Copies of this chain bind each other. A is one copy, B any other.
Amino acid sequence: MSATSSEQTLATAVLSGDRRALARLITRVENRAPDALEALAILHSHTGRAAIVGVTGAPGTGKSSLVNALALALRRRGQTVGIVAVDPTSPFSGGAVLGDRVRMVDLAGDSGVFIRSMASRGSLGGLAATTGDVVRVLDAAGFAVILVETVGAGQSEVEIARMAHTTVVVDAPGLGDEVQAIKAGILEIADILVVNKADRPGAQNTVRTLRAMLELGHRLRTGGHHGVRAVAAAVQAEPVFDSWTVPVIETVATEHKGIDELLAALDRHQAHLRETGEITDRERQRVEAELLARLREALLARLLAERPPEALEKTIQRILRRELDPNTAVRALLEDDLSSPDGKG
């Protein structure tokens, strides 16, 4: 890897704690600038020290306030904090900008905190890769804890949560039945559950429901009558470390209530990861998921670059005329890719 002086300068400045260099590099990473990728290659060997915490959950649970309160508590005990707020919902920047403004009130002007909101540009795979790179930059820059917050509720959370050592799933009372149904999927990725807005009516009910769902999930995993195939698939996909019991913690983030308990649970989970060696497995999964996401994008980009721009369009038009179906088209494009790099369309 031969680095030009400009890349080395930027990487060195980031490593030395230069905040403006950090902001500049992150912007270049978001824009996928080639020199940013070189700087990332330099920074990579300096990563691996930060505790990466994912905070996710359904809309309306108050995730941003919780991340805010958590960051303040971490600062109070002297740890530096990087916050990456990922908003995969907005092709524009509306959501991300809004999130920034909410947070700025409490954390602005503290050099021990660095906040970056990211909106979606292009595919979800691309966003996951960029988020991974931004986390890597903050890790190399020496931030002790990196909070990755995802707004939305869906596959995006699951993908982005895979980048974290500890995943905090936030819930709140009174979000309605549909949200309850959705939670089943998100619960599976939780290391710590938070019931935020715990001063609202129905909070105890939410806590009870979550505990029951955790209990059910545990029974399913350890072999019940239902979902044997689904469980087998889940077991195959990732090893189960059964010694960690997911705690349910009640918070009122806007009043900073329950935040110390949450912090203690985070500490316990980080210790658990190290003691059991699970941290190695998580890191491995994280790297694999990231690598596959990048490969998908890079392979497609290469295929499209290798053939004349009209080749793809011709295929699309043939599908539209019902002469060709998409599956056969993909097979043809791939075979074409092997036999001739020019493409036959």
Contacts and interface: CB of A to CB of B under 8 A. Distances in A.
A68 interface: no
Chain A: interface size category: 35 or more
Contacts of A120: 155, 185
Interface of A: 1, 37, 40-41, 43-45, 47-48, 58-64, 87-95, 98-99, 120, 123-125, 127, 129, 132-133, 136, 151-159, 175-179, 181-182, 184-186, 188, 220, 227, 230, 234, 280, 283-284, 287-288, 290-292, 294-300, 302-303, 312, 315-316, 319-320, 322-331, 333-334
Contacts of A87: 182, 185
A244 to B, nearest CB: 19
A312 B299 contact: no
A159 B292 contact: no
Given A151-B178, A151-B181, 15 more contacts: A41-B325, A41-B327, A44-B326, A60-B178, A89-B154, A92-B230, A93-B230, A153-B153, A154-B154, A154-B156, A283-B320, A291-B330, A294-B327, A296-B300, A302-B334
A93 B323 CA distance: 35
Chain A interface secondary structure, helix, strand, loop or mixed? helix
Contact of A48 (B41, B132, B181, B322): B322
Contact of A59 (B58, B98, B129, B324): B58
B124 A159 contact: yes
A235 B179 CA distance: 34
The 4 A-B pairs of least Cβ separation, nearest first, read: A90-B185, A152-B154, A44-B325, A94-B184
Given A95-B185, A185-B94, A295-B300, A62 B326 contact: no
Contacts of A158: 89, 91
Nearest to A186: B89
Copies assembled: 2
Contacts of A186: 89
Given A178-B64, A325-B41, A327-B40, A92 B299 contact: no
Contacts of A58: 59
B303 A291 contact: no
Contacts of A316: 284, 287-288, 291
A302 to B, nearest CB: 6
Contact of A290 (B98, B176, B326): B326
Nearest to A299: B299
A158 B130 CA distance: 19
Nearest to A327: B37
Nearest to A317: B284
Given A59-B59, A59-B176, A152-B153, A227 B328 contact: no
Contacts of A90: 182, 184-185, 188
A82 B239 CA distance: 38
A144 B65 CA distance: 46
A334 B329 CA distance: 23
B92 A234 contact: yes
B296 A125 contact: yes
9 contacts: A44-B324, A89-B153, A90-B184, A98-B181, A288-B316, A291-B330, A295-B303, A296-B299, A299-B334
A63 to B, nearest CB: 7
